[in-house]
Structure 1
Amino acid sequence: MSDATQDAPAHPGTTQTGKTAWTKFLTATEIDTRLIGMVAALLIIWTGFHLYGVIVNDFGAFLTPRNLWNLSVQTSSIGIMACGMVLVIITRHIDLSVGSILGFCAIIMGTVQVNILPQFLGLGHPAIWIITVLVGIAMGACIGAFQGALIAYGAIPAFIVTLGGLLVWRGSAFLVARGETISPVDETFSLLGGGPYGAIGATGSWIVGLIACAAVVLLVLNGRRQRTKFRFPQHPVWADTFIAVVGCAVAIGAVLLVNSYPWPRGIVRRYTQAEGIEIPEGGLFISHGFAIPVLILLAVGIVMTVLLRRTRFGRYVFAIGGNPEAAALAGINTQWMTVKIFAIMGGLAGLSAVVASARLNSATNALGTLDELYVIAAAVIGGTSLAGGVGTVFGAILGALVMQSLQSGMVLIGFDAGMQQVVVGSVLVLAVFLDILYRRNSK
């Protein structure tokens, strides 16, 4: 007999067959239901803003290559910090200072590359942007480690330490720059913020997309090989095939999307004049391709996922989040782990400062204001539980995309800043409520 016949409900009209088929699908593919929910919510948000813009308000379509490309760039800074916030929240802590750390690191990097390094290396030296990036990341990591030490060894609650940090580092940024905006930044450094020149073009994007497809297929094949090696039950072939096909489809679709967004005509004209290229009669189409900030975000997401899921450090993070006392009794140095987790968070805030200040082409002490709220919201919406012990990096990135989609859509609609904050706060509370319901139903 077929599976459908065996799983038929005892009474006509019941939905047991559908539920069983859905449960079998989730079990075979091991897809998190919260991930499906986030993807569905994102599609609803995009479709809603698109229809509202086209039919009701007539401000233009939301689902255009230009808007989605800009959306990906805008998500990068928040998404990078959300990757670190996952570790912090999993271990039952919180970091309210990430936005201020971003602003402080941006000011330090602006001072270094505009006021200090040119005096020694010369204006436009190729090492300026490298040194600046390293200084920003190192500064953020040191600040994070310092706050982590106060939390771990000083036994001060993370809420208090990072709340103080929110004020201290914002004020320090103002004092360092004396309230002034530092600009313009190094030309090569500014490419890290995106823009037509801060993207890898059509060819580079296809290379990235094909590498992503190959990686998805290799991961699926390696998973089957590892299950055979350790004598674990294999996934159905159709389930692994489904995962591989969906992964490759997403990668190829992303490439087609970013390659369909051309450079503005004014920039194309300046570029062709500088390069001595003649523009054809029908115009010259130059694709943006993937923006550099998006590639940085993807690289951070991959590294943090490997760190969290494939290393001893990651196992310790989940152990501490699940039961801190038991983790300490098991021999885990929870204090030193806390310092390292907050150092990673600070380093990622410094990296976000690189992206944010490069995109703005300047450094200001107001940069990153209220970013801590969006970062925490992104992590929670992405499935990281405030109760600790649960969270995924790519879920947080998806949560950041949801938050940025809401913000960008509301700007297009014409909502003022107050209404935007109301919506963001409401979404955060709703996300925590849904997490509570999910945890209650999964017991």
Structure 2
Amino acid sequence: MTDTSAQTPSGPPAVPNAVPNADGAGTYEGAPAKPEAAPRRSFLDTLELDTRLLGMIGAFILLALAFQFMTDGRFLTPRNIFNLTIQTVSVAIMATGMVFVIVTRHIDLSVGSLLATASAVMAMTQTRILPDMMGLELGHWAIPYITILVGLITGTVIGAFQGWLIGYLAIPAFIVTLGGLLVWRNVAWYLTSGQTIGPLDPTFMKLGGINGTLGTQWSWIFGVLAVLAAIWALWSARRNKQAHGFHVKPMWAELTVFAAIGVAILGFVAILNAYEVPIRRLERQAARAGETLPEGFSAGYGIPISVLLLIGVAVVMTIVARRTRLGRYIFATGGNPDAAELSGINTRLLTVKVFAIMGALCAISAVVASARLANHSNDIGTLDELRVIAAAVIGGTALSGGLGTIYGAILGALIMQSLQSGMAMVGVDAPFQNIVVGTVLVAAVLIDIIYRKKAGLK
């Protein structure tokens, strides 16, 4: 019989009062446990970027490269990017409001028709009412400002009225806004007697895009200020996290994000500045000013004023969503309407506010759309309701409510417009364009459902 007490163990020496740990080794009682190694994080995890946002940016880049190849290099030219930008603004502005509507578990099918009514009201105000009834001469400095104010009041009142029907009379939003789609489109027709109204006020038309830009110098100034503002916002968020003891990214990750934002903003400005104003237009402008255009002179368009308007709307809507009580109430109601009402939120009044905001944004979009066209036409805003809803959904707004981002909706609008513009440049027929857009919308919802299931979201 072998004396096992004399054998030397192959592991660590026996220790009195030792407690075996997970791997079978003994440790002293009360001794600090061996710290576990932190799991290694990937580069993207360390940057802590929104994976959905990265996916949308990647999809946009692939889409742009595909159309660049199919159009023999015409898609990513400064001219086309400039046109693509000003064409996106109108839908993108309304998409930011549609985020709030869908987050609260509603839908608005009337936005295109409401845009048409606001456009008709503003066109009649500046071409008929103010000159004929109030005696203001065409070109008077007050005409565009009064016109925009009237349009905003019109859109807000109509939106609030629809919200009242939904919130206080409990009529489903689908029915109310479906009726609004038919009603407001034909109200616009009766206001103008079915005529195209124009030309519009020159100052008013500067808000449409090509008729109003910052020029190259002011565009660079705006770009630098935008980069500084973005860096300041990110740095302030980092300091707030540190002050409250939250985890922050490594400094190299912060600097990487800063650099990416700076390159994106300044690169965008450089592309818009590279689109030069046609020489004949410069000659006409010089002639009107009584000057002679210097030989070899050239000038770039720069950032359109309508893009500045979109940026302003995006900033305001983001602040409302993240920093105000109204924004918290909107997302809380969308997450669980019954719990929100039981917690004291007036969900009926909240519905009125959300649709009033949507109406005001439709009026702002009407300014941009009619100013870009230089007139009001009967078909303005046609099918915009579908484009706006698609932009919000593609941008990650959940149809089940409670989730959505403003920047996602804007990027969704850009993807939608890029898809349509690219197909038009390739020569795809309009019916097939609608087939592709519809297919993309359904695919985006399917991808969103799969993503939320894998992420454990509702």
TM-score by length of 1: 0.92
Which residue of the other structure, out of 206, 209, 212, is the alignment partner of 1:198?
212
- Unmatched 5+ stretches in structure 2: 1-37
Picking from 39, 42, 65, the partner of 2:57 is 39
Distance in 2, matches of 1:430 and 1:110, equals 39
Could you say which residue in structure 1 is the equivalent of 2:48? 30
Flag as ranges the 4+ runs of structure 1 deviating above 6 A: none
Indicate whether 1:100 and 2:113 are aligned.
yes
Tell me, what secondary structure is at the counterpart of 1:160? helix
Question: Would you say 1:442 and 2:437 are equivalent positions?
Answer: no
Match of 2:269 among 237, 241, 255: 255
Alignment partner, residue 333 of structure 2: 320
Select between 67-76 and 23-32 the one with higher mean Cα deviation: 23-32
Give the conservation status (yes or no) of the 8 Å contact 1:118–1:125: no
1:227 and 1:233 in contact (8 A); partners too: yes
Amino acid at match of 1:201: G
Counterpart of 2:440 (choices 417, 427, 435) is: 427
Q: Give the drift of 1:190.
A: 0.9
Residue pairs, 1:252-401, within 5 angstroms: 252-281=266-295, 283-401=296-414
Task: Give the direction of change, closer, same or farther, for the CA distance of 1:393–1:22 in structure 2 (3 Å limit).
Answer: farther
Taking the aligned partners of 1:154 and 1:184, their CA distance within structure 2 comes to 41
- Counting only pairs closer than 5 Å after superposition, residues 53-68 of structure 1 correspond to structure 2 as 53-54=71-72, 61-68=74-81
Structure with a larger share of its residues in helix: 1
Corresponding residue SS for 2:402: coil
**Residues 360 and 290 of structure 1: CA distance in aligned 2, closer, same or farther (over 3 Å):** same
Partner of 1:416: 429
Give the distance between the partners of 2:301 and 2:79, measured in 1 at CA.
10
**Structure 1 position 362, deviation (Å):** 0.7
* Greater CA drift, 403-412 or 113-122: 113-122
**Whole-Å Cα distance in 2 between the matches of residues 421 and 52 of structure 1?**
19
Partner residue of 1:212?
Answer: 226
Query: What is the root-mean-square deviation in Å for CA atoms of aligned residues?
Result: 1.4
Residue 48 of structure 2 aligns with an amino acid whose one-letter code is E
CA shift digits 1:40-72 (9 cap, x unpaired): 111111110110111xxxxx5111000001100
SS of residue paired to 2:297? coil
Q: CA deviation at 1:194?
A: 1.4
Q: Deviations over 1:314-341 (max 9, x none)?
A: 1111101110001111111111111000
Q: Distance in 1 between matches of 2:77 and 2:327?
A: 38
Instruction: Name the amino acid aligned to 1:113.
Output: Q
Separation in structure 1 between the aligned mates of residue 112 and residue 355 of structure 2, nearest angstrom: 14
Report the equivalent of 1:153: 168
Structure 1: how far apart are the matches of 2:40 and 2:326?
Answer: 35
1:115 is matched by which residue type in structure 2? R
Partners of 2:163 and 2:353 within 8 A in 1? yes
Residue 23 of structure 1: how far off its partner (Å): 5.4
Shift of 1:217: 1.4
Shift of 1:416: 1.2
Q: How many aligned residue pairs are there? A: 417
Q: Distance in 2 between matches of 1:380 and 1:25?
A: 28
Q: 1:224 & 1:35 partners in 2: Cα distance?
A: 20
1-structure distance, mates of 2:130, 2:46: 56
**Aligned residue number for residue 87 of structure 1:** 100
Correspondence for 2:199 among 176, 184, 192? 184
**Hey, what's the Cα distance between the residues in 2 that align with 1:360 and 1:394?**
26
Query: Which residue, 222, 245, 254 being the options, matches 2:236?
Result: 222
How much has 1:236 moved relative to structure 2? 1.2
Q: Kindly indicate whether the alpha-carbon contact (under 8 Å) linking 1:26 and 1:32 is maintained by their aligned counterparts in 2.
A: no
One-letter identity of the residue aligned with 1:48: A
Aligned residue for 1:236? 250
Identity %: 53
State how far apart, in whole Å, the 2-side matches of 1:414 and 1:208 are.
36
Instruction: State whether residues 48 and 249 of structure 2, in contact with CA within 8 Å, keep that contact through their aligned partners in structure 1.
Output: no
Q: CA deviation at 1:21?
A: 9.5
SS of the residue corresponding to residue 436 of structure 1 reads helix
Measured against aligned partners, the alpha-carbon deviations of 1:145-176 in whole angstroms (never above 9, x if no partner) come to: 00000000010110000000000001111111
Q: Distance in 1 between matches of 2:288 and 2:122?
A: 30
